A and B are shown apart, each in its own frame.
Chain A
């Protein structure tokens, strides 16, 4: 069977020591038995590694940050689409999802397919809404509170025991042992991600993660649980292993069927010492370690592409347990000419 030709645009090309999911998603698509994909990388910065990596992206375009406004970002995307038509768009950053979800209809009309959660789903799973989320779907979540003013920090000791987690709206999470540390993290986070800053009860236990894909009708198309074996200073997985844990998969199904989740997601779960599963975060997109799922038998990026194209996708029923990933860094060699071209023309 000859492979279908398709053009996929995606973000998250920052394959650094705190990697975006772009490259692993591309690898999944490249390994697909069904698609022969042309990959357009959408980069926010001219040094995102995947721009310069061999056989990763076919072409890169610089795009403005989502904080510049939805219109600006979408206009740039449509401008790219005009000269280099895009079939499917896969956003890989939390911060940009909002803009793309809001513009789903515009994109669809232009002929760009996406497969994204709805705005409601996106809001519901927000860190600051986690307590309500837990109540609604009957899952355990840590107690949390959203801070919008620095003077609320002093009062935290009324509701929380230290240590506690301080998290940004989209990214960044720090453990704080006292008011002073909360204040420090609060300032750091607001400068980068704005308000609110979320404070979360710290649950002791083992952190496990699940990458999953929902079809928007309540079915789990695929799900692979993983435990991080080695964590970088930034708290990112450096190595991980797939787990055989029915409880984790059941919890994933419960969340996906309850919310009728549409698109990729990552559940961050802490298994406490008495074996209770606490959901500490729900990321509304595929995580950077998704290639482990591909390696374990579930090509979730390929399945996501098919869902975006409106095709029926049969759920994956299994995966290989005990598959490991070990991340490595590599120095690629390029020329300043390439950097110049991207910096001055906005494409490469």
Chain B
């Protein structure tokens, strides 16, 4: 007779109460495979924890987003937001699909060049561009998005030396009904600073103002704010049309689209509330199309969408280290994935699935990471199946920010694999070794 699968014995007090947000939990379905690769097999081959990225998902998501915008607006260009995930393999998939690069530091700029992106297709954002960075960007005809007047003067000084006419855009901040308002970046719309900056650039023959840029916030659930932002940028562009007879080349609406992760404190899950690409596209394109802009000379619409394009394409596979009961009698499960790898667990309630079929029994559990630090909590409270030591699990939607904001803290960072379009895994970032870390260290002579 074949033996039955063993689940650890479990008993739970039935606590009846009136509706609250933790009610009858439905059964958790296992996530056994990632595109035909068994979770256990992947871990066996590449170790645990393990980041897995799907090339198919990236390409499909990108095509969906591009389609949503292209059917509503005639000229659309995506620029891959490097800070969201700058693993070269990931960037190259986006570039193959036609994405430009959007970078915010000299380091990211060089990475984009290294990935074969043409200088003229790199958007250089951010408040911290060194003179050296700017010089390179001017020489390469990159699109420099000016954050403050100091930067404008640096660029002017550089252009005098190089004899090139830098292509610039200005970053505009504005009230779109979203709080907090991001007014630390760029020039303000409402108080006239933005229009003032535009005029100073338009009359300066050493600069070519090619675009207007805004980035209203992050994880924006309200599409209407984008409509307001697009409308205000379009109004500025129309002002330029009227005053100078110049058609601005592009409007860059930035990023900030939400992914389907659930923010902490949200009542509904993100899968229910996150706007679709279609809804964002509808808001943004109508904001521009309904403006006074000359419809025969519409600017290109640039999107720096990061999170919404990559979050779904990443999974983090891990293993249960131990189960224990806390003094309160509550269950705690310790896993080999901590906040060192999952920066986003500070603001999301990540969905976590068992990697093998489980019974319908769920236990209210706290999921702790492996770090010897009290802050290392993946989920404060999750109705989780009864996993045993050594069982695997999968965290979903981790493609954005985790592979750039992760920390080499207490332990080393694991392998990252990319499943190609055939589903074949390739290591795209090797797990760190002791040497990787120590070779950067220098011991003073008296300590050797």
Contact = CB atoms under 8 A, between A and B. Distances in A.
Could you tell me the dominant secondary structure of chain A's interface residues?
A: loop
Given A72-B26, A193-B267, A343 B14 contact: yes
B24 A67 contact: no
A46 B23 contact: no
Contacts of B267: 67, 95, 169-170, 193-194
Contacts of B18: 14, 16, 18, 45, 47-48
B271 A69 contact: yes
B26 A149 contact: no
B266 A99 contact: no
Interface string B23-40: 111100000000000000
Given A46-B14, A193-B267, A99 B272 contact: yes
Interface string B180-195: 1000000000000000
B268 A149 contact: no
Contact of A190 (B19, B20, B265): B265
Contact of B272 (A16, A102, A192): A102
A65 B19 contact: yes
Contacts of B22: 65
A66 B271 contact: no
A72 B26 CA distance: 7
A19 B442 CA distance: 70
Contacts of B271: 69-71
Contact of B26 (A14, A16, A18, A76): A76
A9 B160 CA distance: 76
A195 interface: yes
Contact of A148 (B14, B179, B268): B179
Interface string B235-277: 0000000000000000000000000000001111101100000
A64 B271 CA distance: 16
B16 A45 contact: yes
Contacts of B16: 45-47
B21 interface: yes
Contact of B23 (A44, A71, A169, A192): A44
A266 to B, nearest CB: 18
Contacts of A343: 14
Nearest to A72: B26
Interface in A11-34: 14, 16, 18
Contacts of A67: 21, 23, 267-269
Interface string A93-124: 10100110010000000000000000000000
Interface residues of B, number: 21
Interface string A312-348: 0000000000000000000000000000000100100
Nearest to A63: B24
A98 B268 contact: yes
Given A14-B18, A65-B19, A149-B180, A44 B272 contact: no
Contact of A69 (B17, B265, B269): B269
Nearest to A146: B179
A132 B16 CA distance: 40
Contacts of B24: 44-45, 62-65, 346
Contacts of A47: 16-18
A68 interface: yes
A68 B265 contact: no
B19 A98 contact: no
A311 interface: no
Contacts of B269: 67-69
Nearest to B360: A346
A45 B25 CA distance: 11
Contact of A64 (B23, B179, B180, B268): B23
Nearest to A194: B267
Contacts of B26: 64, 68, 72, 76
A250 B26 CA distance: 45
Contact of B21 (A48, A148, A192): A192
B262 to A, nearest CB: 9
A70 B25 CA distance: 13
Interface of B: 14, 16-26, 179-180, 265-269, 271-272
18 contacts: A44-B24, A46-B16, A47-B16, A64-B23, A64-B24, A64-B25, A64-B26, A65-B19, A65-B21, A67-B267, A67-B268, A68-B23, A68-B26, A68-B269, A72-B26, A149-B180, A192-B21, A346-B24
- The 3 A-B pairs with the shortest beta carbon distances in the complex, nearest first, are A65-B23, A194-B267, A47-B16
